[in-house]
């Protein structure tokens, strides 16, 4: 049996329905931290930039109260748009990287900007990049990653994402071929890869050194079939329940976890289930069941209550 002991289980505000720094449909940061600690999680991401306290000392205190550790942060950027977008990303990612470094975290997830609106699902730009835009994306990612590591000691991991310009497996492979493996690696989101008809295990086995961070996410194949048939946007698909609890979705998690375990090095495996918008009482039991599922698969750590 594959050794899964080096896969470090965490969760993210996304699993509690948090997509934006402030939103009346979301739980607040303190409720989120209280509830994930209650479930027994040890590692957490910071969520959308600005969601958590931005003062490092306050954040450290709030984490320490609950015996929680930050494993990473997430920031969106549209680097395909060129030099101005890159400078904006350096400012915003730099701010997040400074906070991550202050709390002892080393990974920053680069989410590419969606070409559909996160609220309405309406198209905001074309779904394909021309050659110059693609060059902006890959060279900009290399430059941003180098800046973050040299300035803050934080490692950039790029997150392929539905409704963005790096979504399908062929685009992921092209991105990996065109970026510098010394500074740019993947946050492999298993749900987004499956959503876009990719093969997670194939990506892991063909690009083992580029898989340095993982989002564990599951896709409901029945809802996904409807999404394809009706050309539904990601925002609308999430509201239909396209992202689901792991026993009921794709990819099949046990063989995927085995493939990750075969990499033989510490990797954060962060649970995400896109739930926005969601009633505030719903995420806690889902988070508890999902933690229990992964513990049953051999992942950890998860503490017993009381923490």
What per-residue confidence (pLDDT) applies to 156?
98
Other C-beta atoms within 10 Å of 55: how many? 12
Relative to beta strand 218-219, strand 243-244 is: antiparallel
CA distance 129 to 124: 13
E strand intervals along the chain: 7-11, 43-45, 69-77, 107-112, 155-158, 185-189, 211-216, 218-219, 243-244, 267-271
- For residue 296, count CB atoms less than 10 angstroms from its CB and return exposed for 0-12, middle for 13-18, buried for 19 or more: exposed
CA distance 53 to 300: 26
What per-residue confidence (pLDDT) applies to 206?
98
C-alpha dihedral, 169 to 170 to 173 to 175, nearest 10°:
-100
> Based on C-alpha coordinates, what's the Rg of the chain?
18
pLDDT digits (tens, 9 = 90+) for 50-60: 999 999 999 99
- Which structural domains are found in the chain, ordered by start? 7-297 (3.20.20.150)
The predicted model scores a pTM of 0.96
Q: How many angstroms separate the first and last alpha carbons of the chain?
A: 30
What per-residue confidence (pLDDT) applies to 176?
98
Could you give the percent of the chain with pLDDT greater than 70? 99
Half-sphere exposure of 34 (CA within 13 A, CB side): 5
pLDDT at 117 over 90: no
Mean pLDDT within 156-174: 97
What per-residue confidence (pLDDT) applies to 116?
84
Q: CA angle, corner 17, sides to 13 and 21, nearest 5?
A: 65
pLDDT at 172 over 70: yes
What per-residue confidence (pLDDT) applies to 121?
87
Sign of the CA dihedral with 234 first, then 236, 239, and 240 last: negative
Give the mean pLDDT of the chain.
Answer: 96
CA distance 253 to 214: 13
What per-residue confidence (pLDDT) applies to 25?
92
User: Exposure pattern of 153-179 as b/e (b: 16+ CB <10 Å)?
Assistant: ebbbbbbbbbbbbbbbbebbeebbeeb
pLDDT digits (tens, 9 = 90+) for 24-39: 999 999 999 999 999 9
What per-residue confidence (pLDDT) applies to 167?
97
């Amino acid at each position: 049996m594959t050794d899964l002991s080096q896969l470090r289980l965490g969760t993210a505000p996304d699993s509690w329905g948090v997509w934006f720094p402030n939103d009346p449909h979301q739980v607040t940061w303190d409720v989120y931290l209280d509830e994930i600690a209650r479930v027994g999680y040890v590692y957490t991401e910071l969520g959308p930039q600005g969601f958590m306290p931005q003062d490092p000392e306050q954040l450290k205190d709030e984490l320490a109260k609950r015996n929680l550790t930050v494993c990473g942060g997430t920031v969106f950027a549209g680097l395909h748009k060129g030099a101005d977008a890159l400078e904006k990303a350096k400012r915003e990612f730099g701010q997040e990287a400074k906070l991550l470094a202050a709390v002892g975290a080393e990974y920053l997830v680069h989410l590419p900007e969606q070409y559909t609106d996160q609220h309405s699902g309406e198209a905001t730009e074309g779904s394909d990049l021309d050659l110059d835009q693609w060059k902006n994306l890959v060279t900009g990612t290399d430059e941003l990653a180098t800046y973050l590591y040299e300035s803050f000691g934080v490692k950039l991991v790029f997150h392929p994402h539905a409704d963005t310009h790096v979504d399908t497996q062929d685009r992921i492979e092209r991105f990996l071929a065109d970026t510098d493996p010394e500074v740019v690696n993947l946050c492999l989101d298993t749900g987004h890869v499956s959503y876009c008809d990719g093969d997670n295990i194939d990506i892991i086995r063909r690009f083992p050194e580029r898989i340095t961070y993982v989002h564990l996410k599951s896709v409901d194949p029945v809802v996904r079939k409807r999404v394809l048939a009706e050309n539904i946007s990601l925002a609308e698909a999430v509201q239909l329940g396209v992202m689901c609890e792991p026993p009921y979705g794709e990819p099949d998690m046990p063989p995927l976890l085995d493939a990750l375990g075969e990499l033989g090095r510490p990797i954060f495996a962060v649970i995400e289930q896109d739930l926005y918008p969601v009633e505030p009482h719903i995420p806690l039991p889902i988070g508890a069941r999902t933690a229990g599922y992964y513990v049953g698969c051999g992942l950890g750590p998860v503490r017993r209550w009381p923490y």
